[in-house]
Amino acid sequence: MMKTTKTKLLNTGENITSISVLWGNRKESIAVLTDKMLQSLVFLRDNSENIFEDYCELAFSKKKANNKILLNETTIKEMILKHFDEDLGASVSLWNGKKEDELAANFSTRIGMSRGNEKLKNNFVINFPTQHQLSNEQIHNIIAKLYELWEAEQVRMNGLILENYE
């Protein structure tokens, strides 16, 4: 897989469609996972030019995926517990509820995995809409927040590993 540096990718003018932060096996309590998830979602809501002003549950079709969730500790904890396995952690996915494909965005995460294989890592992945107006600085700030919050070990942008990210 091709590797690149943060500076090189951010300066190409390429439309950034996805960012991912990844980390290895780490057992964390439900309370810690809930807090980190809530902080992540609030930060995205407040720093993404209204891309994530709402969060909705994913479903098999956009018509059925209109259930907006409240950003609070109880809701986030329930979502994590609903999909939690002691070894594999929890997998949670939400989208922004925008019906137009060019405005739709989502995130998915696998958190709290304490035992797994080398290829499956804890992660937080954001897929931006094709027509977003985020600046390189805003994208960098989102990556920096998620990297620090989740104590990540790797960052990917548009699928490319960013070397020496810290």
C-alpha of 37 from chain center: 9
**Nearest-angstrom CA–CA distance, 105 and 129:** 5
Per-residue pLDDT tens over the stretch 107-136: 999 999 988 777 789 999 999 998 888 998
Q: Which residue has the tokens 């107006």?
A: 133
How many domains does the chain contain in total? Answer: 1
Confidence of residue 55 (pLDDT cuts 50, 70, 90): very high
Q: Kindly state the percentage of the chain with pLDDT values over 70.
A: 85
Reference 155, options 56, 63, 43, 18; nearest CA is 18
pTM of the shown model = 0.88
Per-residue pLDDT tens over the stretch 78-116: 999 998 998 889 999 999 999 888 999 999 999 999 887
Domain, as residue range, for 15: 3-163
Residue 60 has pLDDT above 70, yes or no: no
The mean per-residue pLDDT over the stretch 71-76 comes to: 96
More confident residue, 5 or 92: 92
**Nearest-angstrom CA–CA distance, 1 and 41:** 30
More confident residue, 97 or 38: 38
Return the pLDDT at 30: 96
Pairing verdict, β 3-5 and 160-163: parallel
